Amino acid sequence: MIFRTPGEGKRKNRIRKRLPERICFRFFAALRLGTCLLFAVFLWNRLLIEASATWLIPSTTPVQFTIVYEDGVTKLSGAKFSLYHIGDVNSSRQLVLDSPFSAYPIDLTGAGREEWNTYALTLQSYITGSHLTPTHEGVTGADGRLSFTVAKGVYFIIGEDVEISGVKYKTSPFFVFLPEYNATTNQYLYQVFAYPKFTREKPPEGEIEIKVFKIVNVCFPCCNST
């Protein structure tokens, strides 16, 4: 997931420094996933670095958050995205979860990228299974863009699969802190662009042979000799 500010163009998503403190909170102790799918999530240390600065100031200014969904020059329209406000970060750099997320804690003290990947999958599974109502949702337009006006907070974003020109796009869920803090300019960005990562699935080419077997149960009546 890469964020850009207007006029900056594309830039690499990298960590400028490491956070000396560790974030600790509990979430989903009873839930586990048997398999781990590949998807992209921001490195949590960088998010907390940016968020710690952002949440030190009170702000009621709305954030213009835009999802840009494209595959090269192909604009991926008709893709549905759901935004869930899962909490906020306090001045101690601790994530304070909203209800109902706070009711299912898990200990991720010192968690690395793999643990956060599993956490995001668990979160997605919980949201889907519990049929939680998103804070915001919408569908990308013909230009592959979808814009929201949102309040400050920590958001978890889920994109549904979409098929375009015979190719299925599977979107990776991701976290975002809004507004975004730019450590270089020491400014808060209230116009944020997100470029979701995805995987492509193409149908097999050529003819596919399908064999169908029919199983018939035949019952013969018993014959009693007289």
Q: What is the pLDDT of residues 67-89, one digit of tens each?
A: 999 999 999 999 999 999 998 87
What is the per-residue pLDDT for 99? 87
Decide if pLDDT at 4 tops 60. no
The percent of residues in the chain predicted with pLDDT above 90, rounded, is 34
Q: The pTM is what?
A: 0.66
68 touches 139 (CB < 8 A)? no
Model confidence band, residue 218 (pLDDT cutoffs 50, 70, 90): low
What is the per-residue pLDDT for 200? 94
What is the per-residue pLDDT for 151? 94
Is 214 among the domain residues? no
Tokens 């492509």 sit on residue: 200
Q: What is the pLDDT of residues 93-138, one digit of tens each?
A: 777 889 888 876 655 555 677 777 777 788 898 899 999 999 999 9
Burial classification of residue 62, based on how many CB atoms lie within 10 Å of its CB (0-12 exposed, 13-18 middle, 19 or more buried): middle
Count of domains observed in the chain: 1
Structure tokens of 3? Answer: 């964020």
More confident residue, 166 or 145: 145
> What's the CA dihedral at 194, 195, 199, 202 to 10 degrees?
130
The per-residue DSSP string of 80-92 comes to EEEEEEEEEE-TT
Is 120 among the domain residues? yes
Decide if pLDDT at 144 tops 80. yes
More confident residue, 10 or 147: 147
Decide if pLDDT at 145 tops 50. yes
Is 112 among the domain residues? yes
CATH of the domain at 23: 2.60.40.10
Is 24 among the domain residues? yes
Is 224 among the domain residues? no
Is 96 among the domain residues? yes
The per-residue DSSP string of 99-118 comes to TTGGGS----TT--HHHHHH
Decide if pLDDT at 61 tops 80. yes
Q: What is the pLDDT of residues 175-217, one digit of tens each?
A: 888 998 888 888 889 999 999 999 999 876 656 566 666 566 6
Is 178 among the domain residues? yes
Q: 44-58, 99-113, 143-157 — which is least confidently predicted?
A: 44-58
Segments forming the whole domain that contains residue 181? 2-201
Is 133 among the domain residues? yes
